[in-house]
């Protein structure tokens, strides 16, 4: 076990015994959901993983330590700290060297989870190509990280605030495998269907574990993205979604929001402007993905 990582006792024991472990990111908690729901959701996600017979490993940097698995107090710190920064892979070492606190994105969480020996990761929606990327060149480091980090990532597609078709093209270029869980449509985060399709459909957790095993045997680099849609009756109303998105993008532009602040700004705009409707969808997305990731981790550990 790499000495640079601090494992919780539960996660260390599970990894040693080859038991199923599911990595969870901390940026969702600190920058993706409003207080106090963020802590409630973080706890519920961990319970969901346990209910399926896996061990949750929420990943964050606290007091300069890279933590793989958090206690309830530590989870509360991630949810409540004002000086916790959102970090991608390139930023981790700077925060650790300075003894600071950091919440890890999909990119950073995948990197650390892989280093820790974890194979499955659950999140909400991936980062990707932003809609104004032609001018801003803003493309999430989630994409390049996924192209080099072998990890099964269960998500509900990429965030609908992004340019989804462009992101799918980039995922193809970057050799990131994408399968739809129970669907051949690529999910749209708050929406069941992003309007794009996926080439491969899987229907069981065992299916996913089998593909993952072959990928390991063939030394295929990069991630296997399992895109898990919200059921149609649970998605956000598409008209409301589209209205809030154009409003939110206009506000971000008018307020000069740039770089890594764009995603938290837009998610927050949705949560406030929809009076909690998007928060409910976002929470459900995360819980459903944690549930599926746990079943995949169990199937993978059994195989």
User: Which residues bind to ligand PSU, rule: CB under 6 A?
Assistant: 25, 27-28, 31-32, 105-107, 123-125, 127, 140-142, 260, 263, 267, 282
Residue (138 or 291) nearer to Mn ion, CB: 138
Chosen from ligand PSU, Mn ion, none, partner binding at 291 (C-beta under 5 to 8 Å by type): none
Query: Which residues are annotated as catalytic?
Result: 25, 159
Q: How far apart are alpha carbons 161 and 264 in whole angstroms?
A: 11
Chosen from Mn ion, ligand PSU, none, partner binding at 248 (C-beta under 5 to 8 Å by type): none
Across 26-61, b (16+ Cβ under 10 Å) vs e yields bbbbbbbbeeebbbebbbebbebbeebebbbbbbbb
Chosen from Mn ion, ligand PSU, none, partner binding at 106 (C-beta under 5 to 8 Å by type): ligand PSU
| E strand residue ranges, 4-54 | 5-7, 21-24
| DSSP 8-state assignment for residue 229 | P
**CB of residue 176 vs ligand PSU: minimum separation in angstroms?**
14
Residue 248 three-state SS: helix
Pair 153, 113: CB distance under 8 Å: no
> CB count, 10 Å around CB of 71?
13
Nearest Cα to Cα of residue 289 among 301, 281, 300: 281
Chosen from ligand PSU, Mn ion, none, partner binding at 157 (C-beta under 5 to 8 Å by type): none
Residue (67 or 260) nearer to Mn ion, CB: 260
Nearest Cα to Cα of residue 79 among 44, 130, 131, 127: 44
Residue (7 or 270) nearer to Mn ion, CB: 270
Residue 290 three-state SS: helix
Residue (194 or 263) nearer to ligand PSU, CB: 263
Residue (69 or 124) nearer to ligand PSU, CB: 124
Q: Under the criterion CB under 5 A, does residue 163 sit at the interface with Mn ion?
A: no
Pair 86, 124: CB distance under 8 Å: no
Chosen from Mn ion, ligand PSU, none, partner binding at 122 (C-beta under 5 to 8 Å by type): none
**CB of residue 136 vs Mn ion: minimum separation in angstroms?**
8
**CB of residue 262 vs Mn ion: minimum separation in angstroms?**
6
Asked if residue 190 has a cis previous peptide bond (ω within 30° of 0), the answer is no
Binding mask 132-161 for Mn ion (x = CB under 5 A): ------x-----------------------
Residue 94: which residues within 8 A CB-CB, separation 6 or more? Answer: none
Residue nearest to ligand PSU according to CB distances in the complex: 124
Across 251-262, b (16+ Cβ under 10 Å) vs e yields ebeeeebeebeb
Residue (105 or 212) nearer to ligand PSU, CB: 105
Q: How far apart are alpha carbons 152 and 223 in whole angstroms?
A: 6
**CB of residue 31 vs Mn ion: minimum separation in angstroms?**
13
**CB of residue 183 vs Mn ion: minimum separation in angstroms?**
27
**CB of residue 190 vs ligand PSU: minimum separation in angstroms?**
9
Chosen from ligand PSU, Mn ion, none, partner binding at 163 (C-beta under 5 to 8 Å by type): none
Under the rule (CB under 5 A), what is the footprint of Mn ion? 138
């Amino acid at each position: 076990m790499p000495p640079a990582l601090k494992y919780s006792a539960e996660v260390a024991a599970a990894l040693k015994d080859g038991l199923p472990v599911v990595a969870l990111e901390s940026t969702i908690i600190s920058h993706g959901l409003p207080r106090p729901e963020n802590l409630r959701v973080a706890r519920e996600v961990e319970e969901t993983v346990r209910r399926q017979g896996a061990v949750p490993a929420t990943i964050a940097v606290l007091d300069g330590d890279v933590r793989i698995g958090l206690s309830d107090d530590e989870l509360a710190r991630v949810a409540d700290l004002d000086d916790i920064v959102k970090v991608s892979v390139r930023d981790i070492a700077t925060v650790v060297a300075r003894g600071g606190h950091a919440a890890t994105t999909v990119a950073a969480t995948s990197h650390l989870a892989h280093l820790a020996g974890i194979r499955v990761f659950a999140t909400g929606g991936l980062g990707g190509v932003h809609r104004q990327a032609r001018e801003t060149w803003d493309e999430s480091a989630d994409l390049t990280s996924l192209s080099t980090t072998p990890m099964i990532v269960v998500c509900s597609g990429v965030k609908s605030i992004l340019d989804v078709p462009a992101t799918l093209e980039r995922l193809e270029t970057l050799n990131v495998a994408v399968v739809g869980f129970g669907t051949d449509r690529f999910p749209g985060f708050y929406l069941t269907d992003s309007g794009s399709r996926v080439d491969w459909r899987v229907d069981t957790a065992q299916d996913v574990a089998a593909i993952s095993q072959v990928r390991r045997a063939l030394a295929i680099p990069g991630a296997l993205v399992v895109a898990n849609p919200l059921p149609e009756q649970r998605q956000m109303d598409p008209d409301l979604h589209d209205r809030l998105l154009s409003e939110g993008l206009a506000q971000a532009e008018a307020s000069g929001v740039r770089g890594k602040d764009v995603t938290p700004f837009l998610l927050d705009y949705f949560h406030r402007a929809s009076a909690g409707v998007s928060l409910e969808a976002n929470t459900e997305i995360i819980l459903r993905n944690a549930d599926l990731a746990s079943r995949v981790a169990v199937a993978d550990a059994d195989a």
